[in-house]
Amino acid sequence: MADSKVNPSFITTHPLFGLCTEDAMQQTDIVSAEVSAPSEPKPSKKGLAFWLVILSLCLIAFTSSLDGSIIAIALPEISTALSSGDQYVLVANCFLLAQTVVQPTFAQLCDIFGRRWPMIITVMIFALGSGIAGGAKSTTTMIAGRTVQGLGSGGIMLMVELIVCDLVPLKERGTYLGIVLSTAALGAIAGPVVGGAIAQRDWRWCFYINLPICALVLPVLIFNLRIRHHKISWSQLITRVDWIGNIVFIGSMTAILVALFYGGTLYPWSSWRIITPLVIGAVGWAVFHVYESRCSNPCVPPRIFKHRTTSAALYMMFTTSLALQLVCFFWPLYFLAVRGTSLMRTGVYFMPFMFILIPGSAVAGILCSKTGQYRWLHGLGFVLTTLGPGLNLLLTATTPKATWAIFQIVDALGRACILSTTLPAVLAPLTEEDVATATGMYSFLRSFGFVWGITIPSIIFNNRFDRMSWKILDDAVRAALQGGRAYQLSTGVFLKTLPLDTQAQVFEVYLDALKSVWLAAVAFGASGLVAVGVEKHVPLRTYLDTDYGLDTGNKADSSGQAVEKGA
């Protein structure tokens, strides 16, 4: 937002104008849109450069997501080859840690340096990390490589969405976000399958596979991703970056995530080694927000949380990511532990969910773009994502295939309605000046939700399993499964070697523990419905008013509005 004009959406978000009503603001918004937009523009034609950029974003999003999930199956082979011992936990989690904590920092840097070079550099960082991890001959080198990969991946996942926002008006973003995020979801789904296939031959290619894709994407980005930005001097860089805020934020999030990664695995949750970083991280996070409210150039401006639609949509993204991770981890557990299926067949049985989620997200994005409405999609989505896990409470060891497939489809349809339509809702009340910051917070909360989506249900499952394990009459079997080992032993031959009567007892305890997890998913879905009630519809802009659009050689008009003719 230029200093010379005041955007009405800024009035409601700025503390000095806190008494303005949202109804008045919306009326002012409409008037302002009529004044600031020359006329209702027709959808611009998309040139070759535009489609090449979109294709490259799809490719790199797919690769980044693939790498994030490929480790799940390949980790045992990697740990054995490198003699990792209990450091396997850090090998698995350093990627997600690095990916999560840097996103608000990258968002601020994108506002300073533009989008082009940060995107190119993050792809190069990701490729470098892939090469280091692929060539690792020790656990330390592997951890270093995975950390570098995570830094690159965090920047990639943020900037993929940010660049889409720069290329098309707000009303069209749902369509293209749906396309790009669907390819990212496809990578996350394919990761375990690809990882298992490659690990059987040579686990190093789990990382080397990223290099040719990065080599293909980089030239496209270098020659076609020419995003406009304001050039600044190095002296301005020193004053515009929120150095203190970024350091406090990264340190706080690192402390919290390290505690979440190690809690219940290497150390019990009651250990001082877990409680101490959790407390330090929570206090640091609170200090960060206090500091941001007083900082002249905050990396997370408090004004982005002032509008109830933005705040509600950010919460929707967090809780959706959390519940999605929960579903993706515990549906397979049902098949493995209760139905006794193999790893490969479990993947097949989970396909109804994935095959609906991916195209459904793209369709929801298109509907959002065509209608300009997102609130009804959110409402429908959270109704279905509350109903889906609720139906899972009916699961038994003999539930027919058609029944559990329908349960998966109901849940997947709900999540598809939400995934590609929350970012337009986050950005609708904000000025284009805040797109990078808000997208950074959106990406961070999505990754943060994935972390909690493993931690919270695991705690619930393990506690409930231990509490109900009295139903297992064999003392040795009961002891073997308690203390958080029930999830680990669900995939091995342990359960299959038990006597039939003991198996029945174990299956009953698994079902009881899973019901607690499904109830947690129901609660998160219901909280999302509350957020939909808080959310208010704000019209999606049909014109592109940004300083960071695709540079096609056109000049901005005299009013300063960017007119995209070829983007």
Q: What are 359-398's pLDDT values in tens digits? A: 888 888 888 888 888 999 999 999 999 999 999 999 998 9
User: What is the predicted pLDDT for the residue at 513?
Assistant: 93
Which of these three, 232, 260, 289, is where a domain ends?
Answer: 232
Share of the chain above pLDDT 90, in %: 23
Alpha-carbon dihedral of residues 267, 273, 279, 285, nearest 10 degrees? -90
| Shared domain check, 157 and 58 | yes
Nearest-angstrom CA–CA distance, 517 and 510: 11
Residues 205 and 347 in one domain: no
**Residue 532's pLDDT is what?**
94
Angle between helix 500-534 and 308-333 (nearest 10) = 170
Cα separation, 328 vs 357, whole angstroms = 12
Same domain, 478 and 400: yes
Report how many domains make up the chain. Answer: 3
Q: What percent of the chain has pLDDT over 70?
A: 81
Reported confidence tier of residue 567, pLDDT bands at 50, 70, 90: very low
Verify that 365 and 439 share a domain, yes or no.
yes
Which is nearest to 185 in space by CA: 414, 355, 363? Answer: 355
pLDDT at 430: 85
Q: 10 φ, ψ to 5°?
A: -70, -30
Instruction: Tell me the average pLDDT across 56-68.
Output: 82
Shared-domain flag, residues 328 and 284: no
Give the mean pLDDT of 531-546: 78
Residue 432 pLDDT > 60: yes
Which range of 16-25, 28-37, 44-53 scores highest in mean pLDDT? It is 44-53
Confidence of residue 523 (pLDDT cuts 50, 70, 90): very high
**pLDDT tens column, 211-232:** 998 998 888 888 877 766 556 6
- Answer with the residue of higher pLDDT: 94 or 124: 124
Contacting residues for 497 by C-beta, under 8 A, at least 6 apart: none
Same domain for 255 and 153, yes or no, is: no
Q: Contact, 44 vs 565, CB < 8 A? A: yes
Round to whole Å and give the CA distance between 302 and 107.
15
Model pLDDT for residues 129-185, shown as the tens digit of each residue: 999 999 999 989 999 999 999 899 888 888 888 888 778 887 787 778 778 877 777
* 3 lies in some domain: no
Please indicate, yes or no, whether residues 404 and 431 belong to a single structural domain of this protein.
yes
Is 23 a domain residue?
no
Radius of gyration of the chain (CA): 24
> Does residue 107 form part of some domain?
yes
Q: Which residue has the higher pLDDT, 283 or 342?
A: 283
Model pTM greater than 0.85?
no
The CATH number of residue 543's host domain is: 1.20.1250.20
Q: pLDDT-based confidence at 548, cuts 50/70/90? A: low
Per-residue CA distances from 123 to 128, 155, 219, 278 (Å): 9, 8, 11, 32
Q: Looking at the domain assignment, is residue 237 inside a domain?
A: no
Q: How many Cα atoms are found within 13 Å in the side-chain-facing hemisphere of 3? A: 0
Residue 405 is predicted with a pLDDT of 94
Mapping DSSP to helix (H, G, I), strand (E, B) and coil, where does residue 231 land?
coil
pLDDT of residue 327 exceeding 90, the answer is no
**Is the pLDDT higher at 142 or at 7?**
142
Does 496 have pLDDT greater than 70? yes
DSSP 345-383: HHHHHTHHHHHHHHHHHHHHHHHHHHH---HHHHHHHHH
Task: Assess whether 165 and 208 both reside in one domain.
Answer: yes
At 512 the pLDDT is: 93
Range of the domain at 211: 45-232
Q: Which of 232, 251, 268 is the last residue of a domain?
A: 232
Q: What is the pLDDT of residue 491?
A: 65
Does position 329 have pLDDT exceeding 60, yes or no? yes
**What mean pLDDT, rounded, does the chain reach?**
79
pLDDT at 39: 45
> Do 256 and 378 lie in a common domain?
no
294 and 427 both lie in a single domain: no
Q: What is the pLDDT of residue 549?
A: 54
67 occurs within a structural domain: yes
Residue 376: CB atoms within 10 Å: 15
Indicate the residue among 232, 255, 276 that finishes a domain: 232
Angle at 425 between CA 421 and CA 427, to 5 degrees: 120
- pLDDT, one tens digit per residue, over 270-316 is 889 899 999 999 999 999 989 988 888 888 888 888 889 999 999 99
185 and 328 belong to one structural domain = no
Mean pLDDT of 95-118: 81
What is the C-alpha to C-alpha distance for residues 195 and 207, in angstroms, rounded to an integer? 10
pLDDT digits (tens, 9 = 90+) for 251-265: 998 898 888 878 876
Q: Are residues 289 and 214 in the same domain?
A: no
